[in-house]
């Protein structure tokens, strides 16, 4: 029933968006420039990887490819709902639905209205961290943190597809991140979070896990805060960044699990247990119960940095877990961001176990004991084409909250208004993007644009405001040309460095096709003035600048359409 409601409301939301798009065309905002918009006729994404594919009775990891980190999951009857981090992208906190844990469909975004949060001019790796979703007594809850933009909060919805409420702030969790809710069998609710330790931190990365009772009706914390974990499972070893806590009940115990070791290659998941929800908690003697840090770095097709798990119990009593991990193409370089993986949880001597010491997370695994429904979110080889004949799907994002109307979808085209907000401006540029989901991927588009001086429009591969490539139609010395610009860090000019250019034929008046191809750490850039007749502008550009290792932060690369016009 919930799935049917979600489908119905999802279509209603798409209808609303179509109407808004039509209004945007009929009545453009007064603040828009008089410049003609860039008209994008289509966008196509292709992924092609040689990793093992699943057969009957199997599924392929990751189950959500691309930048979908910090997954949190909850079950309602036979339906499963999952949310992930989006940091300073808008809309934020994508909500997914599945009935088999394998095939997921995005049904909405929990942060869908600009007024819910204000990402201001924050870096793309600030904003909303590590959401945690729960369901209780007919209401869905997401506990979350808006880093540098308000602190910890809870939002609610009757339908996970939305709409979700405005944030209710939790001031007593000040200084903490990663809140999550636990509803006990006696009806009481509790909120957990990562917070500062008692007194001065003893070392860099020294944090603590706290618990406090929560009034689910009034959405407020009550009573004293109790320290559950100081530093990690063994403070003597100076464990770093204990975070992402969750509590579960099983076989008479409260199990507390949390990530430990930071989000890079030392990442892991640990467990503790207690007979009382407020402790004391005793660590699992076989911690961590999930990690890949004990494996050789030179193994083929590695999966690394696994952690930040959330467990869920199936109707038959089995336990499974979603968690984040990455797929580097060289060393610790990866451009696709932290992705969502799925693995079964077995119980050994009263403790959860996902990977044994030295066990590799598999790319292919036996399916959960649930009826297979739907289709995979992404396949090893896939093609997705957007002809802009309907409202944009919920997977499309922009950088930070919009404050004016600058795009419209109508008549089989996406129109972007050139504005004086660039990709490096820590603002909300005319830029709409979707994630790079494969190590080997191609993004292409067809654009109609007659650039005046100071104007450009095209397609970008972007990791954040300081690390990107832009392949666009521009104007130099009064002549239109195809330009490839790059920003490889704050030392480069904010407007980017010109890497290559090619003049357009003087008589050409039609659309120009633009294409970016990712090949691990190398990126190729092509254009075509006649459909499909591609010309190389630059091949083998160093794409490591789009990796988290180089650019820092917690996000992944996106491919997006962009228009710019200087005042």
Per-residue pLDDT tens over the stretch 42-94: 999 999 999 988 999 999 999 999 999 999 999 999 999 999 999 999 999 99
Contacts of 298 (CB under 8 A, 6+ apart): none
Query: What pLDDT is stored for residue 508 in this prediction?
Result: 79
Do the Cβ atoms of 87 and 94 come closer than 8 Å?
Answer: no
CA distance 38 to 396: 18
Under DSSP, the state recorded for 246 is E
Domains in the chain: ranges and CATH: 51-366 (2.115.10.20), 381-565 (2.60.120.200)
Average pLDDT over residues 7-21: 41
What pLDDT, on a 0 to 100 scale, did the predictor assign at position 36? 94
Q: Is the pLDDT of residue 268 over 90?
A: yes
Residue 128: the pLDDT is 98
Judge whether 516 and 559 are in contact, CB under 8 Å.
yes
Question: How many other C-beta atoms lie within 10 A of the C-beta of residue 550?
Answer: 18
Rg of the chain over Cα atoms, rounded to whole angstroms, equals: 24
Q: What is the mean pLDDT of residues 441-450?
A: 97
Mean of all residue pLDDT scores within the chain: 93
Contact 308, 261 (CB under 8 A): no
- As a whole-number percent, the residues of the chain with pLDDT over 90 amount to 91
For residues 380-400, give the mean pLDDT: 97
Taking the chain, what is the end-to-end CA distance rounded to the nearest angstrom? 52
What are the pLDDT digits (tens) for 476-518?
A: 999 999 999 999 999 999 999 999 999 998 877 889 999 999 9
Q: pLDDT value at position 17? A: 42
**The pLDDT value given to residue 34:** 60
Confidence (pLDDT) at 19: 35
Distance of CA 65 to the CA centre of its chain: 10
Please give the model's pTM, rounded to 2 decimal places: 0.93
Catalytic choice (49, 178, 243, 265): 243
pLDDT (tens digit, 9 = 90+) per residue, 17-49?
Answer: 433 333 333 334 434 446 899 999 999 999 999
Q: Estimate the share of the chain in helix, then strand, then coil, as percent rounded to the nearest 5.
A: 5, 45, 45
48 is catalytic: no
**What is the predicted pLDDT for the residue at 18?**
36
Has 70 been annotated as catalytic? Answer: yes
Distance CA 432, CA 311 (A): 33
Catalytic residue among 49, 70, 386, 465: 70
> Residue with structure tokens 């961590």?
288
Mean pLDDT of 306-314: 98
């Amino acid at each position: 029933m919930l799935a049917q409601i979600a489908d119905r409301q999802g279509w209603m939301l798409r209808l609303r968006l179509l109407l808004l798009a039509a209004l945007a065309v009929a009545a453009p905002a007064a603040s828009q420039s008089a410049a003609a918009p860039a008209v994008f006729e289509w966008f196509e994404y292709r992924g092609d990887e040689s990793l093992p594919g699943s057969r009957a009775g199997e599924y392929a990891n990751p189950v959500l490819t691309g930048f979908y980190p910090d997954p949190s999951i909850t079950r309602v009857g036979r339906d499963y709902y999952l949310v992930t981090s989006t940091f300073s992208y808008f809309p934020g906190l994508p909500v997914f639905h599945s009935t088999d844990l394998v095939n997921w469909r995005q049904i909405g975004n929990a942060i869908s209205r600009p007024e819910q949060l204000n990402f201001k001019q924050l870096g793309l790796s600030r904003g909303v961290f590590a959401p945690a979703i729960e369901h209780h007594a007919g209401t869905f809850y997401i506990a979350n943190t808006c880093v540098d933009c308000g602190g910890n909060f809870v939002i609610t919805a009757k339908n996970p597809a939305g709409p979700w409420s405005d944030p209710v702030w939790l001031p007593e969790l000040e200084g903490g991140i990663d809140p999550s809710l636990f509803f006990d069998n006696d009806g009481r609710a509790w909120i957990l979070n990562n917070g500062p330790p008692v007194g001065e931190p003893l070392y860099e990365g020294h944090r603590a896990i706290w618990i406090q009772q929560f009034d689910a009706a009034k959405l407020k914390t009550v009573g004293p805060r109790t320290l559950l974990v100081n530093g990690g499972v063994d403070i003597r070893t100076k464990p770093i960044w204990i975070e992402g806590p969750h509590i579960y009940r099983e076989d008479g115990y409260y199990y507390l699990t949390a990530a430990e070791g930071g989000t890079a290659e030392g990442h892991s998941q640990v467990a503790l247990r207690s007979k009382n929800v407020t402790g004391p908690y005793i660590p699992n003697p076989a911690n961590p119960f999930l990690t890949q840090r004990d494996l050789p770095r030179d193994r083929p097709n590695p999966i690394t940095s696994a952690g930040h798990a959330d467990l869920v119990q199936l109707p038959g009593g089995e336990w499974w877990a979603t968690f984040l991990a990455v797929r580097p193409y060289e060393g610790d370089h990866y451009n696709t961001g932290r992705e969502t993986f799925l693995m079964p949880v077995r119980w050994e001597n009263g403790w959860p176990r996902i990977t044994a010491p030295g066990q590799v997370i598999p790319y292919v695994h036996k399916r959960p004991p649930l009826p297979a429904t739907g289709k995979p979110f992404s396949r090893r080889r896939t093609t997705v084409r957007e002809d802009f004949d309907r409202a944009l799907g919920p997977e499309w994002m922009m950088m930070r909250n919009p404050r004016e109307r600058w795009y419209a979808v109508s008549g089989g085209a996406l129109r972007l208004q050139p504005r004086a907000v660039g990709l490096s401006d820590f603002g909300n540029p005319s830029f709409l993007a979707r994630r790079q989901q494969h190590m080997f991927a191609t993004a292409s588009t067809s654009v109609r644009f007659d650039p005046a001086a100071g104007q450009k429009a095209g397609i970008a591969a972007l990791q954040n405001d300081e690390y990107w490539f832009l392949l666009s139609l521009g104007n130099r010395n009064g002549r239109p040309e195809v330009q490839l610009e790059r920003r490889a860090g704050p030392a480069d000019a904010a407007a980017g460095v010109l890497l290559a250019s090619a003049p357009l034929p003087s008589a050409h008046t039609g659309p120009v096709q633009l294409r970016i191809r990712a090949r691990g750490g190398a990126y190729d850039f092509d254009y075509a003035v006649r459909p499909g007749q591609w010309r190389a502008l630059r091949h083998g550009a160093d794409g490591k600048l789009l990796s988290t290792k180089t650019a820092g932060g917690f996000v992944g690369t996106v491919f997006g359409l962009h228009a710019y016009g200087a005042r």
